[in-house]
Structure 1
Amino acid sequence: MAETALHNTTTSWSSDFKEITKMRLAISVVFSSVAGYFLGATVLDFVDVLLLAIGGYLMVGASNAYNQVIEKDLDALMDRTKNRPLPAKRMSVQMALFIATAFAISGVAVLYYINPKTAMFGALSILLYVLVYTPLKTKTPLAVFVGAFPGAIPFMLGWVAATNEFGIEPGTLFMIQFFWQFPHFWAIGWWLFDDYKKGGFAMLPTGKRDTKTAIQVILYTFWTVLISLVPAFGMTGRLYLTPIAAVIIGLLGVFMMYYAIMLYKKRTPKSAKQLMFASVSYITLLQIIYVLDKFIR
């Protein structure tokens, strides 16, 4: 019985730790950062890759933990978040703050070991996410615009980690992920509109699941695809796409645009959920194609 209780306690703590740091989200951010590193590196340093992965995870985990401390009372109001460690009272605020602060300090230190610019952008992402984006979420739909800035940093962060430089190449990677976040998060906001409403979050650009929001989703999907193809025209320095890779990216864009148009036509939570999954597939496959295109051309 004692062994069972210990196992259950350990499992519960492990689960809560993953939840407070949003492990799955953090891993996806690390994936973006590593992809950016491979794109920027002229010589691969796998120690730096490991440090980038660790530092990136710590930074994202810190942002998520701080976010949940700030929103713990609002999380208690929504079905999708009410069982998180803080609203469910399985973890104290003090412990969550300790994890967030320890992750933030450790993350900056690890990224600084790679180079100072990487640490600076990592720290900036935490500050923007926690101090600007999070408070705005209940006040204005513009919060999504603000949140797109820290959300777009990981892809370019990898390039900066590899080169210790910021220029047209990481700027382009930033813009791709920046514009991508609008259809992605508006799809989530549409899908979970009623639940977000319980917490007072204003996620959609018009505040409603209406035609204007659906049109903006299509427009930002178009801009996402267009910017994704810019490297094929030789205007982005060392960041370049071959014609074959550009065609594949274009086809992925058609795939994502299809679901954006379906949201416009159907305007249902189900169509929004489908667009959300399509957007995740798009950005993940785009990053894989960008990296493969660099190394096999």
Structure 2
Amino acid sequence: MRTVYVNGEYLPETEAKVSIFDRAFLMADGVYEVTSVLDGKLIDFEGHFVRLQRSLSELDIAEPCTRDELLEIHRELVRVNEIHDGLVYLQVTRGSDGDRDFVFPNPETTKPTLVLFTQSKPGIMDSAASKNGIKVISIEDLRWHRRDIKTVQLLYPSMGKMMAKKAGCDDAWLVEDGFVTEGTSNNAYIVKGNKIITRALSNDILHGITRAAVLRFAQEAQMEVEERNFTIAEAQDADEAFVTSATTFVMPVVEIDGAKIGDGVPGAKAKRLREIYLEESIKAGV
């Protein structure tokens, strides 16, 4: 049985409770972060903490604790749950003043809710998907327009993954005004020649922590990076495609809407970037 963290307490998961009036439950009024654990180390904790601060600030939710306190909670959960490879999920909500209301509760009298739990994922670095690549479909992007805030509003991304599953694929790329925004839970890329192409940061996409690291490693490896919009047709004509996220790292995409990408197998640049990312991230892990 896992030990989880709820508002200052480490508890068995069966004893963890949050109010039914919590605004995350009633209004999806909360944000989250997922930090990978590799070889027992937290990967890019600092980046996730900075993005958490930004998300909370954009929604005017108070920070529940300091950076150092949050790091200690992460480390303790990794320790007590004996996580070697896996993740730590963190969620901060606006909390509740005891009843349902569209108006925000008084921040002076209402504390945010802080919840963390771990998931063990043995073999996450050497998954079959990373060796074979994944297949994606394209769907219309119907999400709200502040995708840069990592909120718990995940119903449509979840529906997108189910659409992909029903189509015999692994994931979906979201399309708005004719251009790919991102995947359901990841940033999207194509490769043409030596150039890696991905959508520029804006309110339209999540500012991926893994994205930032991978693009930095790509440039250090003398790969050209171009941040611009691209279409599904352009992706189908690319040499390679891949996605990045905290839990899939660099994941090759080998098929989009039934069309093979390149030779239909993981491309050399995606595989190399995955190797670099894992090696460097574990070195820098805390």
Query: As a proportion of its length, which structure holds more strand?
Result: 2
TM-score in terms of structure 1 length? 0.28
Query: As a proportion of its length, which structure holds more helix?
Result: 1
TM-score in terms of structure 2 length? 0.29
